[in-house]
Amino acid sequence: MELFEHIMGSWYGGLVVMVISSYVIARSCDVFEASTDYIGRNLSDGVKGATLNAIGSSMPELLTTVFFLVFATDENLGRDLAASVGGNTGSAIYNSIIIPMLVIWFVLGMGVLGVRMTKKVVLRDGLFLIGANLLLLVLLSSDRITWMHGLVFTAFYLVYLAYTLLSMKPGGKKRGKNSGGGDDEQQCWYKRYQFRETTGQLGRSWVLLGVSTLVMGIACAGLVEGCKGIADSLDINPLFVALILVAAASSLPDTIISIRDARKGNYDDSLSNVLGSNIFDITISMGLPLLVFLIATDQKIEFLRDGQNLIDIRVILLVITVITTAVFYFPRTLSKRHVALLGVLYVLFILYAIGAAQYVAGSDTLLGNAAGVVKEWLNGGSAGGDPGGLTGFLRRVANAITGGW
Task: Quickly name the fold that domain 2-402 has.
Answer: A middle domain of Talin 1 (1.20.1420)
Query: Which residue, among 312, 301, 295, 239, has the nearest Cα to 84 in the 3D structure?
Result: 239
How much is the pLDDT for 177? Answer: 44
* Predicted local confidence at residue 182, as pLDDT: 47
Residue 398 has pLDDT above 90, yes or no: yes
pLDDT in tens, 171-211: 544 444 444 444 444 468 888 888 888 888 888 889 988 89
Q: Look at 10 and 340; give whichever has higher pLDDT.
A: 340
More confident residue, 276 or 131: 131
d(CA 98, CA 96): 6
pLDDT at 176: 44
Q: Tens of pLDDT along 53-91?
A: 666 667 788 888 898 898 888 888 988 898 888 888 888
Give the percent of the chain with pLDDT over 70: 86
Residue 45 pLDDT exceeds 60 = no
Q: Which residues of 103-136 are buried (b: 16+ CB within 10 A; e: fewer)?
A: bbbbbbeeeeeebebeeebbebbbebbebbbebb
Every domain of the chain and the residues it spans: 2-402
Interval 283-301 mean pLDDT: 92
CA-nearest of 208, 227, 369, 238 to 309 is: 238
47-61, 124-138, 214-228, 355-369: which range is least confident on average?
47-61
Instruction: For the chain, give the percent of residues with pLDDT over 90.
Output: 23
- Which range is least confidently modeled, 174-178, 283-287, 329-333, 381-385? 174-178
What pLDDT is stored for residue 6 in this prediction? Answer: 58
List, for residues 119-130, the tens digit of each pLDDT value. 887 888 899 999
Q: What is the pLDDT of residues 315-333, one digit of tens each?
A: 999 999 999 999 888 888 8
Question: Confidence band (pLDDT; 50, 70, 90) for 387?
Answer: confident
Task: Determine the average pLDDT of the residues in 360-367.
Answer: 86
Please compute the mean of the pLDDT values over residues 107-128 and round it to a whole number.
Answer: 80
Range with the lowest mean pLDDT among 65-69, 189-193, 228-232, 383-387?
A: 383-387
Mean pLDDT value across the chain: 82
pLDDT of residue 319: 93
pLDDT of the residue at 17: 84
Q: Is a pLDDT exceeding 60 seen at residue 170?
A: no
